[in-house]
Chains A and B, each alone.
Chain A
């Protein structure tokens, strides 16, 4: 069949197909990690980027793929399949997709191996990149976290689509003809997401029926774990998994695989060990031991930050090994898995993490503590204590109070000050505190700084301004007794005023004429 192919071409073709299979697995798995992937274009060829595409190699995934292939290549009747499944925190799992790399017998003898086949394989990988974002499992994987995680499994041999439920759909990514056969890449994906699998688990009974609440958007990560720590027991099996705080940045993807010989039993056999996977336990380190029994799920992990867990020991030192060292240790000790994108993205995702998880101590330092008098307390003093940057809780430290003196705002019944309140406030920053300022601790309010309100020109910010002017004094003319007095006075003085004005009639007339 391939007598037309020169031996060099044959070798090249085999190499292309092998690396194409490995890269396919990488693309699929990375697309299900739950985070955005970003790789850089490089104008100068590095020599290590197969198919001229920057696709990182996660060592564990390569290892699993090579193990599944076991030195063989996809051929007729022997397809390489990547199964993507979902596992809930209660232990139920469901197959979502099966990606198949198949070879059929239709050969294209005329095609040039080193050029056309290579370029078409590159195009097929690009198509795979596009299609992996389009199937329903992508959105599920982006939201994985406390309720569920996404697993993968690679196997070699016959394609098994029975786990996808009724009415699954297929999408063909593409085909490439080669002199030894036509490579086809396709995906079969589940439609009916509400259907839970009915497989029997050894420890957990299956949950039948619709469990749609597992697939809702996760609320913002809470800092407390959802499950008790006893899932740690499986550590020696490598079956414990770190939690995911935010699906955008952190990937908790449990990966499992099984060797080709255990095809039928593997699904059941790895289930018990996989129980810990859905736990939202925080900061559980996972040991990926290279010598693990293949029936157990494998986990992508980062270097253990908690005691006694060494980093991935037996993987070849790929460039992505460096990813593992770039873990961020957020404040609450959640681990990132090894499958993080490039380092430039790391810092980005870290700094963007929600809820101040990696989060800036600066939030504390910039707080202004305001002691505000209670609404029903007729005490005049407003104290503004600017928190010293070094002492966040300066409120409770020995006081160095700056008063807003002459502040009429808090004393509506008192006679209004002639000094403008603005002026008073402006001076408050610079004024030395008077002694009367430290007596009223009715309640302490931490000032919330309004957005965009920082003003470098005035020493007072919008929040302070607003607070001060929230209680302006009553207009003097509106207060009853004063008003009554002035009314009476006005009425009395009217005749006199009228007489004066009548004397000056001519002046007024001249004035009016100048206006016209």
Chain B
């Protein structure tokens, strides 16, 4: 049988060395090295099968504790379109992963608030999408996407600078918190991971930009269809929590909607093709393997 969870035994046949197992039958075929898994898990949560792996810290706990569904989307955009394309995808995912605010009543019942939606037109792409009507959420996403574009003063790894075609990826991870006893900190157990790989191209003239506008718009339409397809498989979702547990499942900090707990991270590859986080992960893995 293959590895699957950092050397621990795994029920998965693929034998991949990523932190998330998968059901691909062929060894090494799925290529899921943590981020960017191409396969979709259908097995029950990992915890039931691997109770021993849940107490380790660092990347192991993150990797091995829970079976995590992972989806990868790839887009090729021009520099100006990066922000809008990212926001379109992130908002579409969060639209499906947000509910109204819970109001717990007595006897363990709760009522759910209402989620409003609004249309957003893109300026640099011939595309429109729907997002949740929540300014706080929009701000949070814009901030995260804004950080995804490093300032152009560092041309060797700036995603949007001219003269270099950059690559990068942004990850949206939904997780649950699991309280640990003191002195250990709470664990964050991911249950769904969306990775958006961005390939930034540089265009020479206005005509190319116009074509790019339309093409990227069509591509984004396909991505939305992909997202909706995944969402409607109705696979694992965290159980609806009790009042005491709601903060372990949902982000209750927003005042009008309640998305599942999520975090956004990103990495940027410079033109040399090496990525910072990959290097770090390799270092950690090597260290732990000693």
User: Which of A40-48, A239-247, A366-374 is the contact stretch?
Assistant: A40-48
Knowing A49-B114, A54-B114, the reply to whether A40 touches B100 (Cβ < 8 A) is no
Q: Helix, strand, loop or mixed for chain B's interface?
A: mixed
Whether the pair A172, B229 counts as a contact (CB closer than 8 A) is: yes
Mask: chain A, 15-41; 1 = CB below 8 Å from B; 0 = not:
000000000000000000000111111
Q: Report the Cα distance A483→B121, complex, angstroms.
A: 64
Contact B116 A41 (CB under 8 A): yes
CB of A193 to closest CB in B, whole Å: 14
Shortest Cβ distance from B136 into chain A, in angstroms?
10
B224 close to chain A: CB less than 8 A: yes
Q: Is A133 an interface residue (CB 8 A)?
A: yes
Given A41-B132, A41-B134, A127-B231; A134-B224 close (CB under 8 Å): yes
A362 to B231, CA, bound (A): 51
Of A44, A45, A130, A138, which contacts B227 at CB under 8 A? A130
With a CB–CB cut-off of 8 A, which chain A residues contact B234? 120, 123, 176
Q: Indicate if A53 sits at the interface (CB-CB under 8 A).
A: yes
The residues of A that contact B133 with a CB separation of less than 8 Å are 38-41, 54
**Chain B residues near A54 (CB, 8 Å)?**
114-117, 133
Q: How far is the CA of A175 from the CA of B232 in the complex (A)?
A: 7
Q: Which of B188-241 contact A (CB under 8 A)?
A: 221, 224-225, 227-229, 231-232, 234, 240
Give chain A residues whose Cβ lies under 8 Å from the Cβ of B119.
36-38, 133
- B160 at the A interface (CB under 8 A): no
Contact between A52 and B115, CB atoms less than 8 A apart: yes
Pair B129/A130 contact, Cβ less than 8 Å = yes
Q: How far is it, in angstroms, between the C-alpha of A115 and the C-alpha of B257 when the chains are bound?
A: 19
Residues of A within 8 Å of B, CB-based: how many? 36
Q: Is B111 an interface position by the 8 A CB rule?
A: yes
Residue of A nearest to B91 (CB): A130
- Asked, given contacts A36-B121, A126-B95, whether A53 binds B114 with beta carbons under 8 Å apart, the answer is yes
Q: What 1/0 mask marks residues of chain A from 92 to 129 whose CB sits below 8 Å from any chain B CB?
A: 00000000000000000000000100001001101101
Instruction: Report Cα–Cα, A388/B65, bound state, in Å.
Output: 76
B residues in contact with A123, CB < 8 Å = 96, 231-232, 234
The answer, yes or no, to whether A173 is at the interface (CB within 8 Å) is yes
Give the residue name and chain of the B residue nearest to A175 (CB). Answer: B232
Kindly provide the distance from the CB of B259 to the nearest chain A CB, expressed in whole angstroms: 11
What is the CB-to-nearest-CB distance from B13 to chain A, in angstroms, rounded to a whole number?
A: 28
The distance in angstroms between the C-alpha atoms of A175 and B129, with both chains bound, is 21
| Known A52-B112, A126-B95, A174-B231: A38·B101 in contact at CB below 8 Å | no
5 contacts between A and B (CB under 8 A): A36-B128, A38-B116, A130-B224, A130-B227, A133-B129
Give chain A's interface residues, CB within 8 Å of chain B: 36-46, 49, 52-54, 115, 120, 123-124, 126-127, 129-131, 133-135, 138-139, 142, 171-176
